[in-house]
Amino acid sequence: MELEQIYTQIITENSRSKEHKYAVKDATQVVEGVNPSCGDEISLQLRVKDGMIEDAAFLGDGCAISQASANIMIDLIKGKSVKEAEHLSNLFLGMIKGEVTDDGQLDELEDAQAFKDISHMPARVKCAVLGWHTLQDAVTKAEKATS
Amino acid sequence: MELEQIYTQIITENSRSKEHKYAVKDATQVVEGVNPSCGDEISLQLRVKDGMIEDAAFLGDGCAISQASANIMIDLIKGKSVKEAEHLSNLFLGMIKGEVTDDGQLDELEDAQAFKDISHMPARVKCAVLGWHTLQDAVTKAEKATS
Amino acid sequence: MTDTIKTQFPLLQQKQNGKPLVYLDSGATTQRPQAVLDAVKHFYEQDNANPHRGAYELGERATAAYEGARAQVASFLNAQKEEVIFTRNATESLNLLAYSWGLHNLKAGDKVVVSILEHHSNLIPWQQVCHAVGAELIFLYTGQDGVIPDEEIEKKITKGVKLVACTHVSNVLGLVSPVEKIAARAHEVGAVMVLDCAQSAPHLKLDVQKLNVDFLAFSGHKLYAPLGIGVLWGRRELLEAMPPFLTGGDMIDSVREQDATWAPLPQKFEAGTQNAGGAVGLAAAIRWIQSIGYETIEKRENDVYRYLWDELAKMPHITLYGTPEGQHCGAVAFNVEGVHPHDVSTILDADAVCVRAGHHCAQPLLTHLGLRACCRASIAVYNTREDVDALANSLQKVRKWLGYGT
Amino acid sequence: MTDTIKTQFPLLQQKQNGKPLVYLDSGATTQRPQAVLDAVKHFYEQDNANPHRGAYELGERATAAYEGARAQVASFLNAQKEEVIFTRNATESLNLLAYSWGLHNLKAGDKVVVSILEHHSNLIPWQQVCHAVGAELIFLYTGQDGVIPDEEIEKKITKGVKLVACTHVSNVLGLVSPVEKIAARAHEVGAVMVLDCAQSAPHLKLDVQKLNVDFLAFSGHKLYAPLGIGVLWGRRELLEAMPPFLTGGDMIDSVREQDATWAPLPQKFEAGTQNAGGAVGLAAAIRWIQSIGYETIEKRENDVYRYLWDELAKMPHITLYGTPEGQHCGAVAFNVEGVHPHDVSTILDADAVCVRAGHHCAQPLLTHLGLRACCRASIAVYNTREDVDALANSLQKVRKWLGYGT
Ligand SMILES: Cc1ncc(COP(=O)(O)O)c(C=O)c1O
Ligand SMILES: Cc1ncc(COP(=O)(O)O)c(C=O)c1O
């Protein structure tokens, strides 16, 4: 996909969406992530109950890529199990690293597949993965909390 | 002059001569010089009376160039005035630096003129000037002692 | 397009996505003219040996090349050879100062003054020393325009200040600092004055006799020279009184099992095998600069700088930082409304226009200006008005990519 | 004469006084093969930008080139990428350790052990730290043959020793140190083991998993790479626990006016703009070495080394230092009876033979062996038996020049 298309697709759909931008009520996990290359920060908030993500949202500003990626991520994980979220984040990071390339497998990522070509822009990879890395931290904490 | 000739002339005449290698009796100035590039040391000893160098000699080991240069220097300055020694050392160092090139002027240096071409071997310049720099220190001290 | 200066830079001849490369990040590092690349090549193909170590002819040529480079830098700065210390970059020069001068001259209760404009490399070393010895670190603040007011200098540089460290030119705003006033005031209160010339050396003639500072640092790679070579200049008495920083080969007078004595300047501060190839490249870069002349450089760059400022100022949705007043060189900082600087940089890159986005290693300044990040276009002598046009054209597209109407 | 390895080195094709250059000072610095010069040229002509700073394509290529070089070094050492720190040279690597590990881990009464074989660069930094903190510096002595006896290791490396720093190969005698024994003993008493690989890296395959050391340092310029690039490798846990050494741009996580936090490894130790061109050259040198293979290198060099030793041993009036026993590489040290080493070097130079004369930055070793200076011939993979013949022929003349009969 051309860079311009990625941008167009990403923003029209996601980057300026406010849908998932709020503080989660009674959040069980609030995890901060930071992109050292630009200082952008994200606060990921989950409410997990019985292993299910009842609610998920994020706060913070950042570039279009990080915002859109986080927005799509929340779309995907809300209402899913923590295990499932973990699986998706592994899949996403695997895709970005170029380790998972099978389109069949990647279908699960739905809109997040748009970031596949970001691996050609190493300087922006950190933007695309910011939300997902933060999710991994949150998942680890959620699993610890229940074990 | 070819390098081999310099060496031949220098050593046959000077570098292994023991003539000026002794401790000066009742020395008025004993000054140490060191060549930082090889660690070679020289101890220059003068007995100055009424502004005249009554006796001069040196101790220490070193390369052929430094030894020969010191030996020729002692030959030149023994029996001369401190002022004259200072003049000769300025002339020698001027020759080495390429600042004094007039053969007429350099004639005063007698055998020490053999070192003229050492300026083409920058790494060995320090060997050739070791004795002369030490002489300059000694002269300064001698002048201070009488003033 | 066939600018006679630009054509001397091999890297700038490349195309990206079919478009000529427009390099506007010279504040980060410059490109190298053919003359510099050739000089380094010549050194490695003809004269390479370990300087100061071999007494053979090849070794002497290497030493002559290295020490000749020092002489070139010295005359460039109007300084003495022994006062020129080769380092890796400006950062190392400033760290050398912090460790060697700082740790041995500062004590609890002393004050160190820096400006809020500083690059991290002229800030963190002083933070570290101040923490280590218990000294106080004080900032000269600017107004929102990036200018340090006179009162600030009067008020902050007072008795008890032992060192003032300031950048000559801001790497973000391109503004020239009031060095004369700061240095005069520093000396009035008995402080030592350090000038970070990383961003000024490529643009302004430096003369240590006129600058009235005590130490000065810059990097070769921002001055058309290769990476890996930098300079610290210092006043001889100060350098002589300082202990060595790095120790090891070549900086000694003599070594025993339990102690060692140091070589005279400049060797005392140059431990281990030095980057002679880099020094040769720096000397070639200086000769190249001198062949053009700072007068021409300033004229050319001023024209492009003003044009850059004015073109951006004309555009809607663009905010410029700093002020068009006063003396500038190098950098122009800006943001595009509603677009994150990293996105701006990525979008411009699709048009082969290289600008930098981020905090530019000046986080405290950005915080002070109420920013987290911004874009920076920075120019060198090879940049032209065409480069500015390419930037302006590409900037037009940025908001459209992100779905804004205009 | 048309050795396929030697022909790859432009500098070695030159003549001096009409004679082919015979370069026997690779222990000081090696020459560079065309492949290395080309890689650096390519970087500056195509990929140069400030690594880690530009988010545009050119900047990403520069970052990829620099980080790719780190990956190359890591695989060369069988290490992790994050454990590879780029420095200027071995000297800086060792100073980094002394400042960052040493000053923060050593205290009054602790003991540091080095060998008497050390190059000044692996000695003075430890002298300085010991003085600063009040630790004791203890020497492993060799016999007159240059070999460290087992008893010495047992006796000196005991409880209370916190750090052992030792050279892998002596830069004077060419002897390989008993690293396995020293490292095992160091770890037995809980000390950290530092290995100076400046003289081993060009000759012996280094594998940090097998070497059983904690830190290791070497210089690119002794390994066919450009000047101005070196490496410090360290175990991750140790590096992570260490404070930064140089501070400034690129090594931070975030910076406020009064303090800063540090980037993770390896950036924490790489302040300021790094020598990416040098790193690219080092990576190319490693690829070049690997294309030949250490097996071939060792075989070739061993043959020339043995031939060199045997030829000199046969000559009258020549004293060799060290011992022909045991594993050697690189250097052979000798003196000519009645002739000062500097004169030897000058006379050989007239035949275009380059050897080094002096204390070789190992004054305590020379003092220990009862010497003030000596000559050193040192070889690299490009040297041949013909080079040794040229040296031997020229050595025949030395005493005659100085008026001796034979
Ligand atoms: C054993 C040893 N250690 C350290 C060094 C220092 O290397 P550099 O001068 O490249 O820092 C050298 C070479 O000079 C050496 O031979
Ligand atoms: C003002 C200023 N000071 C210091 C530095 C540090 O230079 P370097 O990274 O070459 O050490 C820079 C550039 O990055 C700079 O712009």
Q: Tell me the per-residue pLDDT of C160-186, one tens digit each, with 9 for 90 and over.
A: 999 999 999 999 999 999 999 999 999
pLDDT at residue number A120: 76
Using the predicted structure, report yes or no on whether residue A29 has a pLDDT greater than 70. Answer: yes
**Nearest to D177, CA basis, from D125, D115, D101:** D115
Rounded to whole angstroms, the Cα distance separating A69 from C313 reads 33
The pLDDT tens digits for C351-376 are 999 999 999 999 999 999 999 999 99
Q: Which residues contact D48 (CB under 8 A, 6 or more apart)?
A: C11, C29, C31, C32, C227, D58, D62, D276, D277
- From C130, C197, C329, C361, active-site residue: C361
Q: Where are the domains of chain D?
A: 6-31+293-401, 37-290
Please give the pLDDT value at position A39: 72
CA–chain centroid gap for C59, Å, is: 31
Judge whether residue B147 has pLDDT over 90: no
Rg, chain C, Cα only = 22
pLDDT of A86: 96
Q: What is the pLDDT of residue C314?
A: 97
Amino acid identity for residue C37 in this structure:
L
ipTM summary value: 0.93
Centre of ligand 2 to C-alpha C119, Å, is 7
Q: How many angstroms separate the most distant Cα atoms in chain C?
A: 75
**Minimum-distance CB partner of D401 among B7, B38, B63:** B7
Alpha helix stretches (DSSP H) within D275-384: 276-292, 294-314, 341-349, 363-368
- Share above pLDDT 70 across residues of chain A, in percent, rounded to a whole number: 99
Mean pLDDT of D269-276: 98
Q: Which CATH number fits domain B3-146: 3.10.620.30, 3.40.50.720, 3.40.190.10, 3.90.1010.10?
A: 3.90.1010.10
Q: Is A34 within 8 Å of chain C by CB?
A: no
Q: Distance from B27 to chain D by nearest Cα, in Å?
A: 28
pLDDT band at D2 (very low <50, low <70, confident <90, very high): low
Q: How confident is the model at residue A1 (pLDDT cuts 50, 70, 90)?
A: low
How far, CA to CA in Å, does C243 sit from each of A131, C80, C99, C192, D366? 49, 20, 9, 17, 26
Is the pLDDT confidence value at C315 over 50? yes
Instruction: Name the DSSP letter for residue C112.
Output: E
Helix (H, G, I), strand (E, B) or coil at C130: helix
What DSSP line would sit under B57-108, residue for residue? EEE----HHHHHHHHHHHHHHTTSBHHHHHHHHHHHHHHHTTS---HHHHGG
Residue bearing tokens 């931070």: D252
Domain D37-290 indexed as CATH 3.40.50.2000:
no
Q: If one looks up domain C6-31+293-401 in CATH, what number appears?
A: 3.90.1150.10
The residue of chain C nearest to residue B127, with distances taken between CA atoms, is C55
Of C124, C128, C260, the CB nearest to D127: C260
A to B contact (≥3 Cβ pairs closer than 8 Å): no
Which residues have a Cβ under 8 Å from the Cβ of D231 and sit 6 or more positions away?
Answer: D73, D77, D84, D85, D86, D87, D93, D216, D217, D218, D219, D220, D282
Alpha-carbon distance A39 to nearest alpha carbon in chain D (angstroms): 8
Mean pLDDT estimate for chain C = 96
Do the Cβ atoms of B39 and C254 come within 8 Å? yes
**Does residue D1 have a pLDDT over 50?**
no
Asked whether the predicted pLDDT for residue A114 surpasses 80, the reply is yes
Say what the pLDDT of residue C1 is. 46
Each residue of C252-285: pLDDT tens digit? Answer: 988 999 999 999 999 999 999 999 999 999 999 9
Interface of D with C in 295-354 (CB under 8 A): 342, 345-346, 348-349, 353-354
Q: What are the domain boundaries of chain A? A: 3-146
Q: Is D89 in the pocket of ligand 1 (CB under 6 A)?
A: yes
Q: How confident is the model at residue D131 (pLDDT cuts 50, 70, 90)?
A: very high
- If one compares D29 and B34, the residue with the highest pLDDT of the two is D29
* pLDDT at residue B1, rounded to an integer: 60
Query: Where does the pLDDT of residue D313 fall: very low under 50, low under 70, confident under 90, or very high at 90 and above?
Result: very high
Q: Are D363 and B29 in contact (CB under 8 A)?
A: no
| pLDDT recorded at residue C53 | 74
pLDDT of the residue at D52: 82
Q: Which of C16, C335, C343 to mutate to test the interface with A (most CBs of A within 10 A)?
A: C343
Is residue D304 predicted with pLDDT exceeding 90?
yes
Mean pLDDT, rounded, for C217-227: 98
pLDDT tens by residue, D176-218? 999 999 999 999 999 999 999 999 999 999 999 999 999 999 9
Average per-residue pLDDT in chain A?
Answer: 90
Mean pLDDT, range D152-180, rounded to an integer: 98
Mean pLDDT of A112-133: 87
Contacts of D149 (CB under 8 A, 6+ apart): D142, D143
Q: Do chains B and C touch (3 or more CB pairs under 8 A)?
A: yes
Interatomic CA distance for residues D362 and D119, integer angstroms: 5
What mean pLDDT comes out for the span A36-41?
Answer: 75
| Residue contact D254–A39, C-beta within 8 A | yes
Q: Report the alpha-carbon distance of residue D111 to residue D192 in Å, rounded.
A: 11
Q: Using a 6 Å cutoff on CB, does residue C190 contact ligand 1? A: no
What is the pLDDT, as a whole number, of residue B12? 75
Task: Give the CA-trace dihedral at D113, D115, D121, D122, to 10 degrees.
Answer: -40
**What's the confidence (pLDDT) of residue D300?**
97
Classify the C-alpha dihedral D99-D101-D102-D105 as positive or negative: positive
Q: What does residue A129 show for φ and ψ, rounded to 5 degrees?
A: -95, -5
CB A45 within 8 A of CB A23: yes
Instruction: Kindly list the distances between the CA atom of residue D341 and the CA atoms of B112, B124, B132, C306, D359, in Å, as whole numbers in the listed order.
Output: 23, 12, 22, 63, 10
pTM as predicted: 0.95
DSSP state of C176: B
Look at residue B56 and tell me whether its pLDDT is greater than 80: yes
CB nearest to D401's CB, from B4, B39, B63: B4
